[in-house]
């Protein structure tokens, strides 16, 4: 087992464990903390694939900014422990077969995929900061600008909603 593979399994276990405890935890703050663990573990996985910029941005934007807002709102609203309810009938009947099907598809995809090391080496070139910038600002500049326009519209919408009270 190479160190890379060992690191991968550690990070994957962290991500999956974090995701499970995100659902299982009864307190919203604990759930938010579990989500932060998932984000950081994902950043580690990106690092293993040689995508340093994406990894750093993942932590800065998701773990460092968006999750801070989540935690802030949970603290501000003083959200308490969640109450447990019985599992809904729809989730019981439709959820389990769907979960099994998803697991099957994933397993089939993993079984058919090429070894990790080959794709990792290939991704290294495309995922460097410079290559990423070239992709974003040369090849896909119009979709990129359109996305930022969308975000601007969303910000304006939030502003209008917040100002309506006055």
Partner 1 sequence: MKELFLQHAFLITTAVKCGLLLFIVLTVLAYLTWFERKMIAHMQSRWGPYRVGPHGLLQPAADGLKFLFKEDPTPAGVDRLVYFLAPALSLALGLTTLAVIPFGPEPIRIFGYETHLGIADLNIGLLVLFAISALGVYGIALGGWASNSKYSLLGGLRSSAQMISYELALTLSVVGVLLLAGSFSLRDIITAQEGRMLWGILPRWNILAGPAPQILGFLCYFVAAVAETNRAPFDLAEAESELVAGFHTEYASFKFAMFFMGEYANMIAVSCLATIMFFGGWISPFPTTPAWAWTYFLPSVLLAGFGLFVIWDGVHYETLFGKLVLPGVGAALCGLGALFALVPPVTSYIQGPFWFLTKVFVFLFIYVWARATLPRLRYDQLMSFGWKLLLPVSIANVVLTSLAILKWGGQ
Nearer to partner 1, 81 or 113 (CB): 81
Q: Considering only 30-38, 101-109, 118-126, 141-149, which stretch makes contact with partner 1 by CB under 8 A?
A: 30-38
For residues 67 and 36, the answer to whether their CB atoms sit within 8 Å is yes
Residue 14 binds partner 1, judged by CB under 8 A: no
Please identify which residue in 6, 20, 60, 156 interacts with partner 1, judged by CB under 8 A.
60
Nearer to partner 1, 13 or 133 (CB): 133
* Residue 161 structure tokens: 């909603």
Where does 25-62 have alpha helices with state H?
Answer: 28-48, 52-57
Give φ, ψ of 165 to 5 degrees.
-60, -35
Here's the x/- map for partner 1, 107-146, by CB under 8 A: it reads as: ----------------------x-----------------
The residues, any chain, with a CB within 8 Å of residue 91's CB and separated by 6 or more, are none
Nearer to partner 1, 8 or 28 (CB): 28
Please identify which residue in 6, 13, 75, 154 interacts with partner 1, judged by CB under 8 A.
75
Task: Give CB contacts under 8 A, 24+ apart, made by 28-32.
Answer: 28/74, 28/79, 28/82, 29/71, 29/74, 29/75, 29/79, 32/67, 32/70, 32/71, 32/74
Please identify which residue in 24, 29, 106, 159 interacts with partner 1, judged by CB under 8 A.
29
> Nearest to residue 38, comparing CAs of 49, 27, 22?
22
Nearer to partner 1, 13 or 75 (CB): 75
- Contact footprint for partner 1 (CB under 8 A): 27, 29-30, 33, 36, 40, 43, 52-53, 56-57, 59-60, 63-65, 68-69, 71-72, 75-76, 129
């Amino acid at each position: 087992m190479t160190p890379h593979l060992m690191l991968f399994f550690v990070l994957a276990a962290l991500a999956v464990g974090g995701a499970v405890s995100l659902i299982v935890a009864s307190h919203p703050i604990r759930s938010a903390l579990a989500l932060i663990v998932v984000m950081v573990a994902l950043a580690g996985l990106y690092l293993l694939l040689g995508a340093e910029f994406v990894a750093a941005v993942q932590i800065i934007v998701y773990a460092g900014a968006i999750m801070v807002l989540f935690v802030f709102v949970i603290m501000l609203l003083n959200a308490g422990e969640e109450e447990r309810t019985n599992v809904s009938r729809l989730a019981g009947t439709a959820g389990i077969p769907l979960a099994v099907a998803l697991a099957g598809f994933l397993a089939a995809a993993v079984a058919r995929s090429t070894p990790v090391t080959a794709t990792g080496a290939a991704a290294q070139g495309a995922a460097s900061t410079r290559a990423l910038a070239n992709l974003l600002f040369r090849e896909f500049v119009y979709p990129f600008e359109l996305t930022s326009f969308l975000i601007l519209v969303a910000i304006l919408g939030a502003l209008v909603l917040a100002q309506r009270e006055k």
